[in-house]
Amino acid sequence: MAGVGADWNFPAWLAERRAAGLYRQPRRLEPLGPVEGMQNGKRQLVFCSNDYLGLARDPRIAEAMIRAAREGGVGSGSAHLITGQRRHHEALEEELADFLQRDRTLLFSTGYMANMGVIDALLEPGDGAFEDRLNHASLLDGAHMAGAQLRKYPHRDTDALGRMLSEDPPRRRLVITDGVFSMDGDTAPLTALAGLAPGHEALLMVDDAHGIGVLGDEGAGTCAHQGLDQQQVPLLVGTLGKALGTFGAFAAGSESLIDYLIQRARTYIFTTAPPPPLAAATRQAVAIARSESWRRAHLRVLIARFRQGSEQLGLPLMPSETPIQPLMLGAPERALAVSQALRERGILVTAIRPPTVPVGQSRLRITFSAAHSEAHVDRLLQALAETEHLWNAREQ
């Protein structure tokens, strides 16, 4: 069955999911350190978090949060536009703007809310949203929420996008892409997109959730890494819960664009402001991410070591130079089997299956953190070597 149906037959639908190898459930992890934890009574070395810089358990960030909570309490108590705005919110917005070299930033509670709210504020029914077909679900859902016509172009195919824009009737148009694609680990061709969008009177929006902190000299993300400024990428969105190790999101752009979002973005207007101590913690995280460039350098070493070892093993890796290293396995049952075999060896990498990825493209989404060591990478490679009979297509 495609959906639950009019009879609300939840048990039958869930049974179908289990039979297809697509059933999902939370698995509790008790952290034992930056990249280790206990799951089901077994110690695991974790290679599937988004804590790319290893900041989520940094004591300096925790202490900043504790100090702010002791000084002003935990909750903001209201929406930003009523009584929820605090000095740590304003300071974080200013520091993010400086970090990203944008005029102004605006905080949102989550990345999903940021993307939904921004796209809904900018587009109306009849407008056009042109999106990479591998964009995050929140970007696609934002277009649906706005009632815009959603047109998906083939992954990273700027020629196809150009043809779509040329054939499209004059109207307000938004070109939307991830900076780093969350499931494939590759980067968007932002330079080409930045050259294409203005010629078709389209605004370019980049969600750099997986690039912020990781790419660029100070970690300012994919735009900085590709040498693009605010004029070339007018609208930048990012999250704070990945490389920066805390929680929340932001939109960044010109003064007038951010002011417009304050007036129009429903997911900003109609929700409680994030806890001020969380903003204080993120301020500390931004300062660390900018100043401790060794974290990005170490990530590059780990990625190179893993890819070199993977080539020797013949692993079916996808082309990626970011901390996201997908191991393509095809069928969901196969991805589950490899994931379970690694878990038995003390290596935690979750299986990614449809609808998160297209049918036939189930995979292990292996990710690296600056808190990993080269010895950790070697342990992962050894475990993969021991499970070759499960992932090597030649042995099927």
Task: Quote the CA–CA distance of 186 and 164 in Å, as a whole number.
Answer: 23
- Helix and strand element counts for the chain (H, E): 15, 14
Task: Quote the CA–CA distance of 249 and 100 in Å, as a whole number.
Answer: 13
Q: Are strands 128-132 and 149-153 parallel, antiparallel or unpaired?
A: parallel
Task: Quote the CA–CA distance of 258 and 185 in Å, as a whole number.
Answer: 29
Q: Tell me which amino acid residue 128 is.
A: G
The reported pLDDT for the residue numbered 3 is: 59
pLDDT in tens, the chain (396 residues): 455 556 788 999 999 999 988 899 898 999 999 999 999 999 999 999 999 999 999 999 999 999 999 999 999 999 999 999 999 999 999 999 999 999 999 999 999 999 999 999 999 999 999 999 999 999 999 999 999 999 999 999 999 999 999 998 888 999 999 999 999 999 999 999 999 999 999 999 999 999 999 999 899 999 999 999 999 999 999 999 999 999 999 999 999 999 999 999 999 999 999 999 999 999 999 999 999 999 999 999 999 999 999 999 999 999 999 999 999 999 999 999 999 999 999 999 999 999 999 999 999 999 999 999 999 999 999 999 999 998 886 655
The reported pLDDT for the residue numbered 216 is: 95
pTM, entire model = 0.94
Query: Domains of the chain (ranges plus CATH)?
Result: 25-54+293-395 (3.90.1150.10), 59-291 (3.40.640.10)
The reported pLDDT for the residue numbered 170 is: 82
Q: Do 153 and 132 form a contact (C-beta atoms < 8 A)?
A: yes
H or E element at residue 306? helix 294-313
Strand order in the sheet with 351-352: 324-330, 362-367, 351-352
The single-letter DSSP state of residue 2 is: -
Could you tell me the sign of the dihedral formed by the alpha carbons of 311, 34, 52, 340, in that order? positive
Q: Is 250 helix (H, G, I), strand (E, B) or coil?
A: strand
How would DSSP label each residue in 44-79? EEE---S-TTS-TT-HHHHHHHHHHHHHH-S---SB
Q: Which residues pair with 130 in a beta bridge?
A: 151, 175
Q: How many CA atoms lie within 13 A of 333 on its CB side?
A: 3
In the chain, DSSP assigns E strands to 30-33, 36-39, 42-46, 104-108, 128-132, 149-153, 173-178, 202-207, 235-239, 249-253, 324-330, 347-348, 351-352, 362-367
Q: How many CA atoms lie within 13 A of 106 on its CB side?
A: 27
Residue 344 structure tokens: 């038995």
Location of structure tokens 């819960």:
241
Residues 6+ apart with CB under 8 A from 368: 47, 52, 299, 302, 303, 306, 323, 325, 377
